[in-house]
Amino acid sequence: MLGERFLLEVALAEGALATLAYALLMAHALGLRIARHRNSSRLAAARTAVAAVLQADSPTSAVPAALAGLSLRRQVRVLAELAVSLGGEQRRRLLSLASDAGLVARAQRRCASRLWWRRVHGARLLGLLGSGESVVPVLFGDRRAEVRAQAAEWAAWHPSPLVIGRLIEMLADPSNVCRFTVKDSLLRIGRPTVEPLADHLSTRSGAAAEAGLTVAVGLADPRFLGSGLRLVSDQRADARPGRRARRGLGRRPGGTGAGDAAAGPGPERSGVGRKGPRSRRALAGRTGAGRVASRSGLGRAAPGRPRPARARRAGAAAAASRSHRLRSFRPRHGPDGAGPAGHGRPADRGVSGLTAFVSTLLVYTEWAVLGYFLAVNSFYAVQLISAALEVRRHSLMSWEENRQRVLGSDLAPRISVLAPAHNEGAGVAESVRALLTLQYPNLEVVLINDGSTDETMEVLEREFELKSVHPIYQQLVSSQPVVGLYRSRVKPGLVVVDKVNGRKADALNAGLNVATGELVCAIDADTLIEPDGLLRMVRPFLLGDDVVATGGTIRVANGSTVRGGRVVATRAPRSFLAGVQAVEYMRAFLFGRLGWNRLGGNPSFRAPSASSGARP
């Protein structure tokens, strides 16, 4: 069996690692708290100095001194808070302040870096400050899609004819995030885009002009009418032979097909033949025939025939050795030979075999348990490293990212939030108000009353002034009968479905039939969503065209302060069971999902094309 010293060393090593991890975690938390307390006063002083300069109340020399004590991230944060709401002369002053503080030069150097995330940061910073005409246009042809998308976002604030031409060329970019950003930038530029885009559409057809048509619809200019009609007619002409081709699917021309191929001869099996016959001696040695023969007396000399002297001496020595082993394992009470005759050796031999078997079983069990925990801990270490790399990549991508850009975009996909409710009249109004105040421009809230027997419907009718509408919708999935369909007079984005009780899954099916959004978000009626939660969840759909589903990080709200459907102060639960649940949620979402995502454990499925007739 494993030695006690070895097990003690393993236990001490695991305890030391756990203590070190806990100490590092506490040191990191303490360092963040100290840094936050130290920088709070510096941030306030820097904001005051920058605001005073922008109002022309103080000299510009005070700003570089106030920003010098802050890190680059905090300097950018101070200027970015003001840049989004400034224009004209104040924006030029802000650019002058940033240039005096050295931020413009640092951003330009980052645009020429070999690291892709530094190029993203440089273009993003120059976009906030309103500079970069000499370095950012080079990034339109960068090999990384993230850099090209950031350059396209910068172009919305620098609409020169050259920049507009490059943006129109990028409408055929293979990356989904680039196409989305280019279309959004062209819509933000507005009228200067119409003439070059009309020339572009006049020479394009098919999929190459699809993105341009989306921008043309948003601009709504009569000069796009001729190109639009021509492209629509081309698409209809292309769809006719496609239908004929789909009708011919499944036929086997000439009588050949999968069935004929299956009936043919199968591949030869190589290396599966039987081995040659073994020698009898080897077979007897493997099966223990020699031992069986010696025990049953078949291998002994015939009675009455004298054995050789060497055999007699070997037999005596073997008997003495066996007798010594038996006595050393199980000593008898009394002198040798005492006890019932003929019962000593078989019993001792049986006990010895059972003990040896149990001892061997324990050894193998110990090694199996040790190997299992070594394998599990090793895999957890790999998953932890993978999750750390994924968190780092996400933090590099989201550095000073302007999520509010999606709020003002006409290209944001419509999201339908499905919220089943059953006998939740006490808090249903508060939950619906929290959903309606989410930060998203194109939002629809579908609340499904799953056969509630309390005052849920009465509360909704009273609080949101519901009016009955004719239930006309396409039933994509089956569900229990819908009793009524209502819309709110004061909240146009609210739809209430009243149906017969069928549990949560059936309620989601009914909501899915009524929903009109391109994307669907299924939650519980008592779930609290962060104000920018939908902006974060829609981001993967903009980054890739092969994403079919995303999931958010779920946390336990026990112990936290909730006001108006929002978590205003995060605290750990006080009870032990809720605390264990909170830790398990953090492990599952921040450790498990991110680690598997980096390792390829979350598979990506190609979304169905528009020609298939499937609803996305």
Give me the architecture of the 136-238 domain, per CATH: Alpha Horseshoe (1.25)
Confidence of residue 485 (pLDDT cuts 50, 70, 90): very high
pLDDT tens digit string along 331-353?
A: 444 444 444 444 455 555 566 77
Average of pLDDT values for 483-510? 90
| Contact predicate 180/541, CB 8 Å | no
- For the chain, the average pLDDT equals 74
DSSP per-residue codes, 412-452: PPPEEEEEEESS-TTTHHHHHHHHHTSS-SSEEEEEEEES-
Tell me: pLDDT of 281 over 50.
no
Confidence of residue 208 (pLDDT cuts 50, 70, 90): low
- Residue by residue, what is the 3-state secondary structure of 87-137? CCHHHHHHHHHHHHCCHHHHHHHHHCCCCHHHHHHHHHHHHHHCCCCCCHH
Q: What is the structure's pLDDT at 415?
A: 92
Average of pLDDT values for 230-249? 52
Start-end of H helices in 515-607: 533-543, 576-586, 594-599
Q: What is the structure's pLDDT at 604?
A: 41
Average of pLDDT values for 379-385? 85
Q: What is the structure's pLDDT at 139?
A: 92
Report the 10 Å Cβ neighbour count for 129: 23
Rounded Cα distance between 156 and 90, Å, is 19
Confidence of residue 249 (pLDDT cuts 50, 70, 90): very low
| The one-letter amino acid at 610 | A
What's the fold here for domain 404-532? Answer: Spore Coat Polysaccharide Biosynthesis Protein SpsA; Chain A (3.90.550)
Rounded Cα distance between 318 and 301, Å, is 17
Confidence of residue 573 (pLDDT cuts 50, 70, 90): confident
pLDDT tens digit string along 537-550?
A: 888 887 777 788 88
Q: What is the structure's pLDDT at 276?
A: 42
Residue ranges of the domains in the chain?
Answer: 136-238, 363-398+553-611, 404-532
Tell me: pLDDT of 41 over 70.
yes
The pTM (predicted TM-score) of the whole model is: 0.64
Q: Which of 60-69, 123-132, 314-323 has the lowest mean pLDDT?
A: 314-323
Tell me: pLDDT of 243 over 90.
no
Confidence of residue 403 (pLDDT cuts 50, 70, 90): low
Tell me: pLDDT of 602 over 70.
no
Confidence of residue 284 (pLDDT cuts 50, 70, 90): very low
Identify the residue with better confidence: 202 or 315. 202
| Contact predicate 54/98, CB 8 Å | no
pLDDT tens digit string along 147-201?
A: 998 999 899 888 888 999 999 999 888 888 888 889 989 998 988 999 999 888 8
